[in-house]
Amino acid sequence: MKFYFSTRQIPQLRNLSIDERFIRIRAAENKLTAPEKLLLNVIKLLIMVPVFVFVLRTFQDWSSLLWAGLIILAYPLILKPFQYSLCAKYLKQPEDTHTKE
C-alpha cells in the first residue's frame, strides 16, 4: 500500500481543485469495506486513548497537557496518510474534458 500525505499526490486527483478532491475522497470513503473502516477506527482509537490518559494525569503533572496537545496536533499527520491510501483504490480516473477533433 502506497502512502499519500496529500490529496495532490494521488494520481487520480492531481489535476482537480481542492474542493473537488475532497468531494471525491468523501465518496471514496463511503465505498470502504467494513475491515478498512475498522482499521481506520482502530488507528483513531490508538491515537485518542493516550490523549485522555494524559488529560487524566494533569492532576499529577501539568506538562501532561502539553503532550496531549502535541498528540492532538499530530492526529491528522498520522491518520490522513492511512485514510488517503485506503481511499485511493476507490477513486476513478478523471475523465478528459478535452474533446477530440
How many domains is the chain partitioned into structurally?
1
Q: Which three cell numbers stand for residue 96?
A: 478528459
The per-residue pLDDT of the chain, averaged, comes to 86
- 8 Cβ neighbours under 8 A, 6+ residues apart: 14, 21
Residue 72 lies in a domain: yes
Q: Which of 42, 41, 44, 24 is nearest to 91 (CA)?
A: 24
Span 35-77, pLDDT tens digits: 999 999 999 999 999 999 999 998 898 889 999 999 999 998 8
Q: Could you list the residue range(s) of the whole structural domain that residue 44 is in?
A: 7-88
Rounded mean pLDDT of 24-37? 92
For residue 33, being part of any structural domain is answered with yes
Q: Is residue 101 part of a domain?
A: no
Would 35 be classed as within a structural domain? yes
* Residue 1 in domain: no
